Amino acid sequence: MQARTLVGSAGALLAVSALAIPAVVGQTHKGSATHAPSAAAYRANRFVASWPKTPREVAMKTMEKYGPPQEATPTRLIWHNNGPWKRTILYREEVPHHFPMKHTDLLEQFIDYQVPVVKFSDLARYDGSVIVERTKGEMSARCDKEEMNFLAINLAHDVSTGKKSVEEARQFYAKTAMAFMKGEKHSYTQGLQFSVPKGNTGYTDEPADMMAAGK
């Protein structure tokens, strides 16, 4: 199988296979590029070449925007501190999700965030693909597009802070997602609309012996 090298305006692209999957080589999230193939890009593309169509396309788009991932395995690609995200994970596995329309979840993006315990159930009812980890102090959204992750996280913040009810958030999500598919770009789909908390957002809890002693 012969590979060919493509050089485009986005930077040098690593050789593509017969599946025609370009790899972004030496490109950073700021768009700079070098002419030497990146080992990270080569490794990522070697794995992605055998992925199904949708995760393969999302991998290409994400690498074009943020450069090659820092970690790559046969089942996932991982970026750290890319753009506004603490971490981005692209999975080979697609999880079926029917809200607000049928699609598959495969792109998960994380921020530091502390959700009040009383709001956990509300967030679960709002969107099962918004995932909160209390111990780590993280919140993530998992969908098929970064824009939908922005939308999900922004609305999760609204629910967590009491700005919107669960039903209001779901209606807003559905309406905005449908409009996005028609080419409309609401601010909630273009970036985080709140300041990501600084400092420790995790909850370490207490040792059981201290609880038993009433300390």
Domain boundary among 37, 52, 75: 75
Query: Are 67 and 112 members of one domain?
Result: no
Query: Are 45 and 95 members of one domain?
Result: no
For the chain, the domain total comes to 2
Q: Quick check: is 212 in a domain?
A: no
User: How many Cβ atoms from other residues are within 10 Å of residue 203's Cβ?
Assistant: 14
Query: Are 96 and 175 members of one domain?
Result: yes
pLDDT of the residue at 209: 79
Query: Are 71 and 118 members of one domain?
Result: no
Query: Are 61 and 104 members of one domain?
Result: no
pLDDT of the residue at 198: 79
Query: Are 123 and 163 members of one domain?
Result: yes
- pLDDT tens digits for 91-138? 999 999 999 999 999 999 999 999 999 999 999 999 999 999 999 999
Query: Are 36 and 101 members of one domain?
Result: no
User: How many Cβ atoms from other residues are within 10 Å of residue 68's Cβ?
Assistant: 25
Q: Quick check: is 9 in a domain?
A: yes
CA torsion angle 134 138 139 141 (round to 10): -130
pLDDT of the residue at 38: 80
pLDDT of the residue at 82: 97
Residue whose token pair is 């790559």: 72
pLDDT of the residue at 194: 97
Q: Quick check: is 209 in a domain?
A: no
Q: Quick check: is 211 in a domain?
A: no
pLDDT of the residue at 157: 98
Q: Quick check: is 215 in a domain?
A: no
Domain boundary among 75, 94, 125: 75
Q: What is the pTM of this model?
A: 0.82
Query: Are 89 and 38 members of one domain?
Result: no
pLDDT < 50 regions, the chain: 1-36
| Mean pLDDT, the chain, integer | 86
User: In 3D, which of 160, 129, 147 has the Cα closest to residue 187?
Assistant: 147
* Domain membership of residue 193 as a residue range: 84-203
Query: Are 5 and 49 members of one domain?
Result: yes
